[in-house]
Structure 1
Amino acid sequence: MISLRSAPAATLTTLLALAACSPPAPPAPAPDVGWAHFGSDAGGTRYSPAAQITPANVRGLKVAWSYSTGEMTAKGEAMEQASFEATPILAGGRLYLCSPFNAVAALDPATGKALWRFDPRVAPHVNYPNDYVCRGVTYWRDPQAPADGPCAERIFTATNDRRLFALDAASGRPCPGFGAAGVVDVGAGVRLARPGAMQITSPPVVARGVVVVGSSIDDNQRIDEVRGTVRAYDPRTGAPRWTFDPLAAAEAGVKAGAANVWAPMSVDEARGLVFLPTSSPSPDFWGGARLGDEGHANSVVALDAETGRPAWSFATVHHDVWDYDVPAQPTLADVAYGGRTTPAVIQPTKQGLIFTLARHDGRPVIPVEERKVPQGAAPGERLSPTQPFPVAPRPLTPIRVSAEDAYGLTPWDRGACRRLIAGARNEGIYTPPSTQGTILHPFTGGGVNWGGLAFDPGRQVAFVNTSSLLHRVTLIPADRVKAERAANPGVEISAQAGAPYGMRREVLLSPLGLPCNKPPWGRLHAVDMRTGQVLWEVPLGTTRDLAPGSQLLLGTIGVPSFGGPMATGSGLVFIGAAVDNYLRAFDGRTGKELWKGRLPAGGQATPMTYVWKGRQYVVIAAGGHAKSDTKRGDTLVAFALPTRGGG
């Protein structure tokens, strides 16, 4: 043994140099930690106590394994319609995930090796509202079944073509006693205007002996749209248990459909409540046929899990004509706002607002004010004179833009953006759609979207990513919609059939293809839920993969994101989501980016983490996103710190 105290100077210098060049010691094994639900727990906190990976060693992360769903080869051109948004779960000793085309796989948590695979054979090339998406699957242990019996452990998965499967978690085979040979037709009896007008994109939830399923429904197509009915089934037999129509409580004479639950749901098993984030009624941008109380649309709704009856409901928008759905999973957490801890529901919105509600009755934990908003709607419309705003935190995205705020790299393209903004109706958030064209800021993609937020319970901090772009929405007289479509191929123009107006929706871009509002176009925020104050916010993502070479000119300016963050016990925040091909780790205290790992395709998904046999893994789906046109792929990638053997 060499003592540094007595070593000659030359020897000491040599030893210090060797120490500096040596790789860090492998981390000590950690207790196993799972991720049993889409949002880590049934309440969707997206938090894990796993702490083997820390701010001090995160730079050592390497790819530990990867798994390919095989769909890049099998689906071919259909992948252009696919978004790999899945978050895997770890339950019962296996990882489970779904592909955009609803193929379910069980993987070995240590190696990523496939243990089984089930393909429901969803037809390709169907025009679904959200392209092909499967955000996750659901695990359930039947407490009445023998421990090793068939289907004692089940995986529930709901498909784009509206089927609900119960699979044996050990083998992947459909459970024969569930529905018809393991499947229930969720769309049975629903009359659709076209084959793909309704789909299921988010995972079911199980609560108090029922499995609950939502749906995604066409936007902007017609007044008389399919209702957004939520359905519950017996998890053993598939027998229907109850249905809940968010519009059933609407005033007589309100004519609309949708108000569906397309985003993930949450469960408070102890209280027997299922929490729903509901969307806007149809059509999105003209509500003259739905004057009056719109029931439980645009709301956080708490349902009794056993009966489907509403316990309470809180509307985040009144009479929505902006497509401001409640887009994200309600997060259930104990919030210590103002020094008093309350079991709460934290609900982020497309408007960049965060509502914090008491879980038992829906009353605001952080006060909410009704504030006056712009009026002067299209003929036949009647707007709400006010809209709800929480007093804290402040809006996380800008809610007003002026022509002088226009962005451009040169006076030429900035001038073009200035004219686009100045030429539209633009009085801040909740300016009503118009035939002149109206600026929607935030745009209908958020603010916050389906990725939701992560909540660190010990630090009482919520982490959330937002996007910031401008939409211009123009109302088109119904008799001109057909001609507008013919004259503007490739532009989103929808009929809103039955309404006096169709709609045109477009992101405001400069002649160079850059957004007309100033960056950052995407950010990651940290909010202290004890005070409602924003602790920090930093740009998220670069233009490297959208416009190669532009990063040198624009730097880390922040880009839009699809997916959400995940927080860990060591104080790290992991997030992909940005429209580039990276998974990143941030210091939860400061917002400093500590590490980023290159992905083989777009990482527009929410990561998860677990500890298996003493080693912590961070896993993300890297397959790209159809609506943001990021690089397609079919790979699940797991990162971990090197072990003593170097693996």
Structure 2
Amino acid sequence: MPAGEETAEAATGQQTDQGNRAPRPQPEIGADWPFWGGDAQATRYSPLDQITRDNVDQLERAFIYRTGDMPTGSAEGKYAAETTPLKIGDQLVMCSAKNILIAIDAATGEENWRYDPQVSNDAIPYSASCRGVSAYTAPGLPDDAQCKTRVIEGTLDARLIAVDLRTGQPCADFGENGQVDLWQNIGEKVPGWYAVTAPPAIVRGVVVTGAQVKDGQAEDAPSGVIRGFDAVTGAFLWAWDLGRPGEHGQPPEGETYTRGTPNMWTTATADEKLGLVYLPMGNSSVDYYGSNRSELENQWATGLVALNALTGEPVWDFQTVYNDVWDYDLGSQATLLDFPTGEGETTPAILLPSKQGDIYILDRATGEPLTPVGEIETPQDPSVEPDYISDVQPTSEWHTLRKDELVEKDMWGFTPIDQLWCRIQFRRAGYQGFYTPPTADQRWIQYPGYNGGSDWGSVAVDTDRNIIVANYNDVPNYNRLIPREEADEMGLRPINEQPQGGEAGENADVGGAEGAGDPQAGAPYAIDVNAGWRNDVTGVPCTRPPYGGIRAIDLNTGETLWDTPIGTARRNGPFGIPSMLPFKIGTPNNGGSVVTAGGLIFIAAATDNLFRAIDIETGETVWQDVLPAGGQANPISYEVDGQQYVLIAATGHHFMETPIGDYIIAYRLPE
């Protein structure tokens, strides 16, 4: 719903105060990959076409670079780097799992420089992740100035860091010797509770960042405030603290930004022309209980919010869940595109995927839907919050990745015994289909689970063929609310009440899923999530495969062109024993794809450690390579000296149970 009429183009007073912040030309993707999402529109589409279906089988490894950032001590079991480099000029620039900034030669993989901000293990929240960095060229600095082009990252210990693209040296003009402390005005510093894992958005010279607030700890949690900083000086410009509407400065002396508010842990998208930044918002700190939330929390959670990037004032928002108690926060970066409206006309639009599987197309300036949006009635009983659960929920009537509701015959197992056990669990659980309300006296089935639908890997859009490429998960969660007295007996305590200090890592829920015993302090219930609904004996999901797929969607009509499982059984099997079978079963996946003008989709993401090329016209896998570690990252494509490269970070993922590594692997055709 609209929250203001003014775009940044109208904020002339703010421009005067902050200097010249007129729209500036954005770098074309061409031979480079200058943004985390490929181009400024976040399409993940490369115009390179040297590699095609006819020659992709000739791909060979051009180089393997190793970052050297591997887990030690208390970081064991908590690495999920999820890294996507930028390619700018002749360099690849990236961050490692613990925020080491690195530049390597894009053709050879030879290291040019590295800068280690010395992030400690106790700063790791759920995962040591750094999905990417951002770059900014300062128009007011001489071409030979230090940090004319700077690389900016957010860190796990909540700093913004800026270094020179050419040398890796900290930018002396940015904050204090290249750093800005994001803990300022957040409150008590509890390592691991407040961290940045996504690249910041930069629009009109303003660095916009949110942060991940570790899920499920307490209602009295760090704020989900979004802040804007000057990209050259690092100076604070504004804050969007949803608990203080209309106030965009720092809080009064001795106060903090509003505690426990919804946060943006994923990647925002910048619109340089409109001067807007689009924020995929998460939920309040306690995901699975909402009756204690404020009206402002209910208004802004789990929706896409467009902010004026010069003032921090909301311009519009589009909510994908009303009163979310399912942890359906928006994880995907939204994509800017020109949406066909008929008779050769297009409208500037933004594409928004959700964890529920819905894909929405909205007007970029107003947030009004350009494709049909409906409402469905949602179950109300039984519920621990009958007065809070919304009667209806929005859904896309244009396209959804969501499958049919589960039935008992969907329960599955490697033997009749474990299939029977899963059927018994199905009958014991509460399940009324989509949006079954949380319960405490029995388990309830959440389908889709909190991993999607679409997650942080986002979708890719072939803007020449007008095809959306979306990979997705298709597994439920098996959950239960834990009454407070029982949670206390279990010893479930929030992160700020656990032992702290050094490398002890006492806050780690090592190897567990998010929500697997989260205390939710302040609410009457803790939460226990069985992510993927694993069979207690075999460790495989209780529902039949496929557990993940990839789909091509016609952007003009929303119709499915093809849909196929992604991932083989080669590394999956009962009791955690790899079957080594090459059958395509469709595994859970984490990470996205790149689409090229050569008609290929490159994607890893699945748990089989395969990097594959898929024909965008047919969905057929036409090439694959075995990676030395999990490929839970977004690949890129770029060009050096007339040769097209494709690159993937094989760094693994503890939650996806793939091997951890530090490999950056590039491919090209033989010279």
Taking structure 2 as the reference length, what is the TM-score of the superposition? 0.87
Pair 1:553–1:423, CA change in 2 (3 A): farther
- Equivalent position of 1:408 in the other structure: 413
CA drift at 1:552: 5.7
SS at match of 2:63: strand
Cα distance in 2, alignment partners of residues 63 and 543 from structure 1: 25
Pair 1:391–1:108, CA change in 2 (3 A): same
- Equivalent position of 2:489 in the other structure: 483
CA drift at 1:400: 1.9
Would you say the 8 A contact 1:97–1:106 is kept in 2?
Answer: yes
- Equivalent position of 2:231 in the other structure: 235
Is it true that 1:622 corresponds to 2:650 in the alignment?
yes
Is it true that 1:346 corresponds to 2:385 in the alignment?
no
- Choose from 300, 305, 308 the match for 1:301: 305
SS at match of 2:97: coil
Is it true that 1:638 corresponds to 2:638 in the alignment?
no
- Equivalent position of 2:184 in the other structure: 188
CA drift at 1:355: 1.1
Which one has the largest radius of gyration?
1
Moved more, 321-330 or 507-516: 507-516
Give the unaligned 5+ runs of structure 1: 1-30
Cα distance in 1, alignment partners of residues 180 and 159 from structure 2: 6
Cα distance in 2, alignment partners of residues 280 and 616 from structure 1: 41
CA drift at 1:172: 0.3
Pair 1:295–1:66, CA change in 2 (3 A): same
Is it true that 1:89 corresponds to 2:86 in the alignment?
yes
Would you say the 8 A contact 1:247–1:296 is kept in 2?
Answer: no
Cα distance in 2, alignment partners of residues 561 and 602 from structure 1: 10
Cα-to-partner distance string for 1:404-458 (whole Å, 9 max, x where unaligned): 2111222211111111111111011111100112101111111111000000111
Q: How many residues of Structure 1 are paired with residues of Structure 2 in the alignment?
A: 605
CA drift at 1:124: 1.7
- Choose from 423, 428, 431 the match for 1:426: 431
Report the aligned-residue RMSD.
2.1
- Choose from 329, 332, 344 the match for 2:333: 329
CA drift at 1:550: 5.1
Would you say the 8 A contact 1:337–1:366 is kept in 2?
Answer: no
Cα distance in 1, alignment partners of residues 261 and 446 from structure 2: 21
Is it true that 1:440 corresponds to 2:436 in the alignment?
no
CA drift at 1:295: 2.7
* Identity percentage of aligned residues: 40
CA drift at 1:380: 6.5
CA drift at 1:282: 2.8
Pair 1:335–1:379, CA change in 2 (3 A): closer
Moved more, 153-162 or 370-379: 370-379
- Equivalent position of 1:260 in the other structure: 263
CA drift at 1:562: 0.9
- Equivalent position of 1:49 in the other structure: 47
Cα distance in 1, alignment partners of residues 579 and 341 from structure 2: 40
Kindly provide the amino acid, as one letter, of the partner of residue 534 in structure 2. L
Cα distance in 2, alignment partners of residues 127 and 266 from structure 1: 25
- Equivalent position of 2:401 in the other structure: 396
Kindly provide the amino acid, as one letter, of the partner of residue 474 in structure 2. S
Cα-to-partner distance string for 1:176-198 (whole Å, 9 max, x where unaligned): 11111110001122124732101
Would you say the 8 A contact 1:192–1:198 is kept in 2?
Answer: no
Cα distance in 1, alignment partners of residues 328 and 245 from structure 2: 20
- Equivalent position of 1:451 in the other structure: 457
Would you say the 8 A contact 1:287–1:381 is kept in 2?
Answer: no
- Equivalent position of 1:123 in the other structure: 120
User: Structure 1 stretches (4+) deviating beyond 3 angstroms?
Assistant: 74-77, 246-250, 337-340, 488-491, 546-554
Pair 1:553–1:586, CA change in 2 (3 A): closer
Kindly provide the amino acid, as one letter, of the partner of residue 509 in structure 1. R
Is it true that 1:534 corresponds to 2:532 in the alignment?
no
Cα-to-partner distance string for 1:353-378 (whole Å, 9 max, x where unaligned): 11111111011111101111111221
Cα distance in 2, alignment partners of residues 411 and 399 from structure 1: 24
Would you say the 8 A contact 2:466–2:556 is kept in 1?
Answer: yes
Pair 1:386–1:55, CA change in 2 (3 A): same
Is it true that 1:558 corresponds to 2:586 in the alignment?
yes
Would you say the 8 A contact 1:122–1:160 is kept in 2?
Answer: yes
Cα distance in 2, alignment partners of residues 184 and 463 from structure 1: 37
Kindly provide the amino acid, as one letter, of the partner of residue 384 in structure 1. S
Would you say the 8 A contact 2:203–2:272 is kept in 1?
Answer: yes
Would you say the 8 A contact 1:217–1:258 is kept in 2?
Answer: no
SS at match of 1:71: coil
- Equivalent position of 1:417 in the other structure: 422
- Equivalent position of 1:287 in the other structure: 290
SS at match of 1:139: strand
Pair 1:311–1:446, CA change in 2 (3 A): same
- Equivalent position of 1:576 in the other structure: 604
- Choose from 64, 69, 77 the match for 1:66: 64
Taking structure 1 as the reference length, what is the TM-score of the superposition? 0.90
Would you say the 8 A contact 2:436–2:445 is kept in 1?
Answer: yes
CA drift at 1:553: 5.7
Would you say the 8 A contact 1:337–1:531 is kept in 2?
Answer: no
Would you say the 8 A contact 2:65–2:663 is kept in 1?
Answer: yes
SS at match of 2:481: strand
Cα distance in 2, alignment partners of residues 92 and 127 from structure 1: 32
- Equivalent position of 1:545 in the other structure: 571
- Equivalent position of 1:499 in the other structure: 523
CA drift at 1:148: 1.4
Cα-to-partner distance string for 1:470-514 (whole Å, 9 max, x where unaligned): 21121111111033458x996821221111111111132223221
SS at match of 2:327: coil
Is it true that 1:363 corresponds to 2:388 in the alignment?
no
CA drift at 1:292: 4.0
Pair 1:279–1:156, CA change in 2 (3 A): same
SS at match of 1:134: coil
Would you say the 8 A contact 1:79–1:632 is kept in 2?
Answer: no
- Choose from 146, 169, 173 the match for 2:142: 146
CA drift at 1:159: 0.5
Moved more, 189-198 or 563-572: 189-198
Is it true that 1:162 corresponds to 2:142 in the alignment?
no
- Equivalent position of 2:22 in the other structure: none
Cα distance in 2, alignment partners of residues 586 and 249 from structure 1: 47
Moved more, 192-201 or 295-304: 192-201
Cα-to-partner distance string for 1:370-405 (whole Å, 9 max, x where unaligned): 111111221465111111111111x31325212221
Pair 1:592–1:448, CA change in 2 (3 A): same
CA drift at 1:575: 0.6
Kindly provide the amino acid, as one letter, of the partner of residue 392 in structure 1. W
Cα distance in 1, alignment partners of residues 394 and 244 from structure 2: 23
Is it true that 1:513 corresponds to 2:513 in the alignment?
no
Give the unaligned 5+ runs of structure 2: 1-28, 247-257, 493-508
- Equivalent position of 2:172 in the other structure: 176
Would you say the 8 A contact 2:75–2:124 is kept in 1?
Answer: no
Is it true that 1:313 corresponds to 2:306 in the alignment?
no
Pair 1:428–1:380, CA change in 2 (3 A): closer
CA drift at 1:551: 4.5
- Equivalent position of 1:114 in the other structure: 111
CA drift at 1:629: 2.1
Kindly provide the amino acid, as one letter, of the partner of residue 538 in structure 1. T
SS at match of 1:343: strand
Cα distance in 1, alignment partners of residues 525 and 73 from structure 2: 38
- Equivalent position of 2:616 in the other structure: 588
Cα distance in 2, alignment partners of residues 351 and 278 from structure 1: 14
Would you say the 8 A contact 1:397–1:466 is kept in 2?
Answer: no
Cα-to-partner distance string for 1:570-611 (whole Å, 9 max, x where unaligned): 111111111121111100011001111111111000000001
Cα distance in 1, alignment partners of residues 488 and 648 from structure 2: 42
Kindly provide the amino acid, as one letter, of the partner of residue 581 in structure 1. N
SS at match of 1:397: coil
Moved more, 60-69 or 222-231: 222-231
Cα distance in 1, alignment partners of residues 292 and 216 from structure 2: 14
Would you say the 8 A contact 1:406–1:518 is kept in 2?
Answer: yes
